[in-house]
Amino acid sequence: MSERASAGATGLVEQVRQRATAGEAPRRAAGWRSAVAPVAVLVVLAALPYVSVPLPGVLPGLVNSPGSMQLLALCLVFGGVALSYDLLFGRTGLLSFGHALFVAAGSYTAALALARPGVGLGVAVGIAVVVGVVLPLVVGAVALRVTGIAFAMVTLAFAQAGSILVLRNPGGLTGGEEGLPLNRDGLPDLLVGVVNAPYRYWLALAYLALCWAVVAWLVRSRAGHVWAAVRENPERVAVLGLSVYRSQLLAVLVGGLLGTLGGVAHLLVVGGATPSLTTSELTLGLLVMVVLGGAGSRWGAVVGGVLYTYLDNRLLELAGSDTVAGLPAVLRVPLSEPTFVLGALFIAVVFFAPGGLVGLVRRRRAPTA
């Protein structure tokens, strides 16, 4: 690389860094909010298992009841998975239709490992981490040879191959359409049983906190600034001597690894590996989560993932309730289809809040000229 190209590449990264810094100036002007708010939210969420308060219509029982803890844990897991997907879509501009492959790989790898006699949770997680590094590297190395919609189609092909493999149930390993139950012999006692639902909730919260910390550190690093530059103008980045391929491969690697860990967390929360994790519908759901909350924003990805998962589960219960059954047909028919309600919400956000729910809140708080 010539000195002029090197200086130009450094200048581009510096411009992106300065632009990101300028964009974050209002948040820094708010002072304590950007630093204290995540910690405060984490403390509040960590205390929920001690809250014995009913929330009729919001949660299926008391806040700390097993059913509520299960639902909240699932929401937190998908908040973290959405954050991992946002590294690709929101931060780097990569539209991947294969992120479900990484989540499913984590879930099925850990389940298969725990099914072996003498294998504990630590070993199973270690094996899943190895898979979570190798698989994204392979998928990224192949898919990133093309760009745009071609990249999306290649990642979709990988995900479909994984889904077919799981459903074919080779050697009886994956359980086919029935999924793979979790062997609890190798798990700590605190993660087994209905009464220990709070511990699984804290596990999901720890996974979300890990994803938040990793993403927060990366987006402020040089790699994060290069990702932003690639998202805005990959051609200019390439001309100035920076490797677009390597920076995008790093995003696929980190996002895939965090997604794989999300699959492990999902396995422990749900109690089994389900084939629904292998479908492209999950990746499309992740895309909706990120856009719903706000692409390129940590709060947006988490809020979108939690809200989408919550509505997906609660609307399904609402659809079969007597309340909906007694409504006029004009209301009963759409409310009995959760996907219709979620789709309508997604369309409304795209039209009226293009920056997502978090972007809408920020615009309302921004001072008017």
Q: What is the pLDDT along the chain (369 residues), one digit of tens a residue?
A: 455 555 555 555 555 555 545 544 454 544 456 678 888 999 999 999 999 999 887 888 899 999 999 999 999 999 999 999 999 999 999 999 999 999 999 999 999 999 998 899 999 999 999 999 999 999 999 999 998 899 999 999 999 999 999 999 988 889 888 889 999 888 998 999 889 999 999 999 999 999 999 999 999 999 889 999 999 888 888 887 888 999 999 999 999 999 999 999 999 999 999 998 988 788 889 999 999 999 888 999 999 999 999 988 888 777 766 666 777 777 777 777 777 778 888 888 888 878 888 877 776 665 544
Give me the pLDDT at residue 171, please. 86
| Entry pTM | 0.87
Give me the pLDDT at residue 3, please. 54
Task: Give the integer Cα–Cα distance in Å for 212 and 206.
Answer: 10
Give me the pLDDT at residue 27, please. 47
Give me the pLDDT at residue 12, please. 54
Give me the pLDDT at residue 267, please. 96
Tokens standing for residue 136: 């994204």
Residues 6+ apart with CB under 8 A from 40: none
Task: Give the integer Cα–Cα distance in Å for 226 and 130.
Answer: 26
Give me the pLDDT at residue 368, please. 45
- Which has the closest alpha carbon to 306: 115, 8, 45? 45
- Which has the closest alpha carbon to 202: 191, 212, 211, 193? 191
Please work out, in degrees rounded to the nearest 5, the angle formed at the alpha carbon of residue 164 by the alpha carbons of 152 and 119.
105
Backbone φ and ψ for 180, nearest 5 degrees, come out as: -125, 115
Please, what are the domains in the chain?
3-365 (1.10.3470)
Enter the DSSP assignment of 54.
B
Looking at the DSSP bridge assignments, the partners of residue 17 are none
Give me the pLDDT at residue 19, please. 54
Tokens standing for residue 125: 């997680």
Q: Environment class of residue 353 by beta-carbon count within 10 Å: exposed (0-12), middle (13-18) or buried (19+)? A: middle
Residues 6+ apart with CB under 8 A from 283: 85, 96, 97, 98, 99, 100, 156, 159
